[in-house]
Each structure stands twice: as structure tokens, then as C-alpha cells.
Amino acid sequence: MSVDTATVAKIASLARIKVSEAEIEAMVPELNGILAWVEQLGEVDTSQVEPMTAVIPNTLRLRDDVIDADPLTGGDKRDAVLANAPAAEHGFFGVPKVIE
């Protein structure tokens, strides 16, 4: 499988990265080079193999159902959460107007 300019434009749009036509032109051969190389995995017979889900066997834990069990990740952290926001307004994240 290989990508063309339309496909790269579509991927970039899915990834929410603005790219110019010149950038797309440059990326097509680069991405095709990488994709052609990774496609050698197709030659491995994996019909009897389950895909890996955890590299080291582990069980998912549930935390205790306690409010603010870890004060660092509990509630009442509005100002800390907003401290690095590019546009915090009135205790909220500010974004451009969204009206359909």
C-alpha cells in the first residue's frame, strides 16, 4: 500500500495538523519509504498468534471508591488545572466561538 497526495492530506486532516501543498508533496515519498519498509511484516505468518496486549503480565487495578483519595488528583484543583492554559477566562478554558 502506498499513499498519494490526497491520502496524506486526509491523514493530516485526521491528525489535525495543518500542512501546505509543498509539505504534502515532500511527505509523500518519505511516508511511502517508511510504509514500504514496515510492510515486510506481512511476510511473517501470524495466523496462530494473538496480538500482544500487555508486554509484562499485569492486572488492572481499581482504586478505592473514595473521594479525593489522592488529593493531588482529586477535586478542588481549578486554578492548578488552568495555570498553563493559553486563554483561561472566568475559571474556564477559553476557546474560539463555537456556533454551528
Partner 1 sequence: MTDLTELGVAQIRDGVAGGDFTAVELAEAFNANVAAAQEALNAFIIATPEKAVEAAAATDAKRARGEALGKMGGVPIGMKDLFATFDVQTTAASHMLEGFKPQYESTVSQKLWDAGAGMLGKLNLDQFAMGSSNETSYFGNVISPWKRSDGGNAALAPGGSSGGSSAALAARLCPAATGTDTGGSIRQPAAFTGTTGIKPTYGRCSRWGVVAFASSLDQAGPMARSVQDCAIMLEAMAGFDAKDSTSLDLPVPNWEAALSGDMKGKKVGIPKEYRVDGLDDDVAKSWDDGIAWLKDAGAEIVEISLPHTKYALPTYYIIAPAEASSNLARYDGVRYGLRDLPDGANLQDMYAATRAAGFGPEVKRRILIGTYVLSAGFYDAYYTQAQKVRALIAQDFAQAFEQCDVILAPTAPSAAFGLGENVDDPLKMYLNDVFAVPASLAGLPAMSVPAGLNREGLPLGLQVIGKAFDEQGVLNAGLALEQRAQFAAKPEKWW
Contacts with partner 1, residue ranges (CB under 8 A): 1, 3, 7-8, 11-19, 27, 30-31, 33-35, 37-42, 44, 46, 49-56, 58, 60-61, 63, 70, 72-73, 77, 80-81, 83-87, 93, 95-98
| Phi, psi torsion values for 77, nearest 5 degrees | -125, 25
Cell of 22: 509543498
Q: Helices 21-38 and 5-14: crossing angle, nearest 10°?
A: 90
* In the complex, least distance from residue 3 CB atom to partner 1, rounded to whole angstroms: 7
* In the complex, least distance from residue 8 CB atom to partner 1, rounded to whole angstroms: 7
* In the complex, least distance from residue 53 CB atom to partner 1, rounded to whole angstroms: 8
CB neighbour list of residue 21: distance below 8 Å, 6 or more residues apart: 5
Q: Which is nearer to partner 1, 21 or 73 (CB)?
A: 73
Cβ atoms of 91 and 82 closer than 8 Å: yes
